[in-house]
Every structure is written in structure tokens, then in C-alpha cells.
Amino acid sequence: MAILNLKSKIEDLNRLRQIITVFFEAGFGFIIDRLRLRYLVPLRLRLSQRFKRLKAPAKPEIKPPQVRLRESFEKLGPSFMKLGQILSLRPDLVGFEYAKELEKLQSRAATFSFEQVEKIIQKEFGRPIGELFKSFEKKAFAAASLAQVHRAVLKDGTQAAVKVQRPNVEETIKKDIHILFFLAFLLEKYIPESKPLRPTQVVKEFAAWTMRELDFKVEATNTERFRYNLKDEPDIKIPKVYWDLTSQKVLTMEFVDGVKLDEEERLAKMKLSRELLARNAVKVLLKQFLIDGFFHADPHPGNFFVLKNNIICLHDFGMVGYVSPEMRSEMVSYFMSFINQDMENSLKHLLDVAEVREGSDVEGFKQEVSSILSAWFYSPAKESIATSFFKAISASVKYNIVFPSNLVLLGKAMLATEAMAKRFYPKFDFNEQFAAFVGMVYRSAFDPRAAAKDFQDNMFDYLAFLKKLPEHTLKLLEKFEKGDIGVKINIEEFIEVKEEIDRQNDVRILAGLTAITLLTSALVMNIEEARIFGISLGRIGLLIGFVLIIWLFNLVRKNK
């Protein structure tokens, strides 16, 4: 591809050249060659590499590729550091060794100057720091790829943590996303074996995640949602958001002085029940996964503080995951089948949430997952449920089967949660608590109160469906009359079948009506106010239901 043609596709050719050069120097020239981008590498580097080959000195010690990749991401700045952090959550794509190495990017960001912090806050709120805060520490106490955090005191004396976005980071990331899409296109075009990894889709998800994280109002909203979901958990603390000092690029929250999980000496001085801490951490995260459907997608030790009285504080809600009610139902069913060693239903529920495309090797996937599950079913030294689950969904890539990214994030978060619990209390039995929690969620689905709530939540959908049913039926009949829908039937051969179907339909309709009447009556009986002439509406419904049962019984006997 000529440079002239490339300029029409890439806004910043110099940035692309910088990216290619960094990866070339890190030893990834063979990939650059396959992408046909070697001409972007400076001539001196190309000649230098060729000279080294001719000279053929003793081979120096070469760092592992995952280390070289992580170092390259660090050199390339915020966009690639954030990309690396997201890839660290996707060992199904990059492998466990790469994911483990890329996790180090979470604590390797440099700080920017206080003068830049002042300018950003002034621009966001139209007032200087001195008018907004009683005091503001110039030195940041934490830094990440997109922002850094300062300690401050509000005008009323409240201790606060102020997260400030890096200067110009949004513009930089937008340009880099454009370049990453271009590189993903080349990967799929020139390196066919990369297609199962779906490079373009990965970049698309990275872009969506990162642009959401760049809006600190989104993170503030996420934080408030977690506060609401966990308000009844006395052992969990979620910092408060100060909305009047929060904008797209500045997030002001309650300062919580806790101890990080890796500060072992400070933890040892606290009077803690490590077993209770482990149980609380797992309980709250399982609630997020299987009940709330809204979970912390990056629960690494830096995002958890331990407070007095065995309280855990969660923070940094920029990266969250979502699990729809339908997917939660499938996952609870999968885990119940798994715990009960039901191979067939385990595979069924797992595949029900997967995307099976043309060319997918479903049988190959089933065989590998069966092997993974069998190791848990029958081995006395069982690995954790979280590990088995993540191995199962990670096996999908090689068989061209795709699981939703949120489900993969959930699997990785489960692994991280278990690791944290074991760090609190090495003897902690994750499998026992997980199985008990899943069983509780599964049983609650059959609670009449839950069924009544579900009926109430979806009542307007049911009413809307019934309201539109006559209109849609009329349209369908009109199409039949106009001949838009043709059905060819041999009447002479079909007449006997038709009569039998009519009889069976009578039975089915009556059976369905009976079931609906009985179910609705059972639910209505919970509502004491529902009465007609002083008689419970639920009891009237049950009486009608029993009459329908007798009618149904006679109809079935007659059809025999």
C-alpha cells in the first residue's frame, strides 16, 4: 500500500509510524512484515537490523514476548495502556500468560503536573481550585492510564478524593482508535489465522469501553447504582459522589482511608476476621453477577480497600459489566447443572448463550468442554467452579464460537474474586459458597412472590401484546385473502388430519386457559384487597379453574 493512499485513511501518519517503530524495536518485525508496513519503519532501524544479522553476534538474552508487548504498550501511552488493561481481562483472546503480564499496566502510569490539574478544573467548573475546595493536595496519590487522583477537603470540611482526567487524552485516544481499526483491518486481511480472534470487533469493544470511561459522569452514575444495589449490605462500603464537583473530566467522591490487599503489614495490625472478609467479598460479587446483573468488571486488589470491622470498600467503577435477565437465568441453570454433574444440560445452557456461526465446530467445542467438566465432575482434587467455567468459555475461540464479551468479563471477574478471597483467607472454600449461593438464586426463581413480581413487571407488555393481537391477526387474514401468503393443501388427504387437529386444539386451548386461570388465581390470593361481594377474587378463580379441569377431563375422555 502506498503512503499516498495511506494518508487518505489515517489522520496521523506520524503516530502510525511511531506505533510501528515501537513494535519493530520490541521484536515484532515479523508481524509488521506480514501486515506489509515495514516501509513505515525508519531506514536506520531497518539497516541496523540487517547489519546485525550479517554480523551474527552471540544471541543476547531476549525477554519473553508478553513482557515486550507490555513494555511497548507502556511506551505508546494512555490508549495502548488502556487497551492492554482490557486485554488483561480477556485471556480467552490473548492467553493467560499475556493476560497476567498485561495486568501490570494497572499500576504503571506516570503522573502529570499540578498546573495542568488546575487548568482542567478551572475549565470544567469556571472557577479556580481555591474557590471550589478548602484545600487540595498538589501531589497525586494514585495514577492510571486515563486519570490521576488527588486528596482534597471540601468547603464544609469533608475529606474528598478528586479524579482528574489526563490533559488531551480524549483527542489522543480518538486518533489511536482510528489507527487501531486500520491495523485490525490489515490483521484480518493479511493474517487469516487472526480472524477467529475478531480483531475489528475487539477494537470496536475497546472503543466503546474507553469512550464511556472518558465520561466521568458515567462512572459517577455507575457508583450511585452500586450504592443503591448494595445499600442493604452492611459489610460493604461504596463511596459517595459529590455531584456539584463532578463533570465529564472531574469526579469528586468521598475519601475512604482503607488498606489495600497488598499492604500485608498494615492488614496484620488490624483486628480482622479474614474468613469473614473472604465470605463478604465473594457474597457481594456473586450478588452483582447473578441477582443485580450489574457487576464490577475489574475487581483487582487495587480496587478493594479493607476498613475497620471487616468492612470492604469497592471503588473505581469505570469498567462495569451487564448481564441481562435472560442470560442470568441461563447461567444459573448452567451452574446448577454443573454442580449436579449433569453434562448434557451443562453443555446445552452454555451453548444457549453463545453465538454459533457458519463454520463453527460445535462438536469439537462440546468434546473439549466435556473434558474440562469431567475433570471437575470426577476428579477428587477439584479445581474451582470459576476456573472450570472460564476454561470452558475460553475454549470457544479455536472452534469459531463466540460468547458475549460481558460473559467473558464475568468469568474473569469470578476468577479475580476467588483469588482475592484466597488472599484474605487461604483455606477459603470458594466452591462451597458459590454452590450455596447459586442454589439460593435457583430456588428463589420458583417463589410465588417472585412469579407475581415478574408478572407485575411485565404486565404492560402482556397488555400491549393483547391489544395489538386483533390488529395483527386482521392484517394476516387480509394477506391471505389477497393471496400474499399461499398455502397449498391437498384437502382430500388432509380432512381427517384437520378434524383431529381441531379436536386436539380444543383440548390444548382449554388446558392453557385452565393453567392460566389457576396460576393467576394463586397469585391474586396474595392480594387481600381483591374481592367481589366480599369473596376473595383468587378463590373465585380457583373455583372456575376446577370447573374447567372437570370440563377438560370430560373432553379428553370423549376424544378417546
The predicted pLDDT at position 114 comes to 96
**Strand pairing partners for 320?**
296
pLDDT at position 2: 40
The CA distance from 498 to 201, in Å, is 50
Residue 367 is predicted with a pLDDT of: 93
Handedness of CA 128, 131, 137, 143 (dihedral sign): negative
Alpha-helix runs per DSSP H in 232-361: 264-269, 274-287, 325-339, 343-352
State the pTM of this model: 0.74
Question: Which residue, 329, 349, 320, is CA-closest to 409?
Answer: 320
Length of the chain: 560
From CA 49, how far away is CA 288, in angstroms rounded? Answer: 52
pLDDT of amino acid 501: 47
545 vs 521: CA distance, rounded Å: 8
pLDDT of residue 494: 45
Residue type at 289? Answer: F
The stretches in the chain having pLDDT less than 70 are 1-11, 49-61, 106-108, 381, 446-474, 476-560
Sign of CA dihedral 63, 64, 68, 70: negative
pLDDT in tens, 170-179: 999 999 999 9
Return the H-helix or E-strand segment holding 160.
strand 159-165
**What values do phi and psi take at 124, rounded to 5?**
-70, -35
Positive/negative CA dihedral, 369, 373, 379, 385? positive
pLDDT tens per residue, range 404-447: 888 988 988 898 888 888 888 888 898 899 999 999 988 887 66
CA separation, residue 260 to residues 149, 263, 429 (Å): 16, 5, 22
Cα–Cα dist 123/536, whole Å? 64
Which positions ≥6 away from 429 have C-beta within 8 Å? none
Q: Which of 14, 46, 12 is nearest to 32 (CA)?
A: 46
CA distance 498 to 549: 25
* pLDDT on residue 39: 87
Q: Write down the pLDDT at residue 337.
A: 92
Show contacts of 1-7: CB within 8 Å, 24+ apart.
1/36, 3/39
Parallel/antiparallel/unpaired status of strands 259-260 and 311-314: unpaired
User: Which residue shows C-alpha cell 366480599?
Assistant: 534
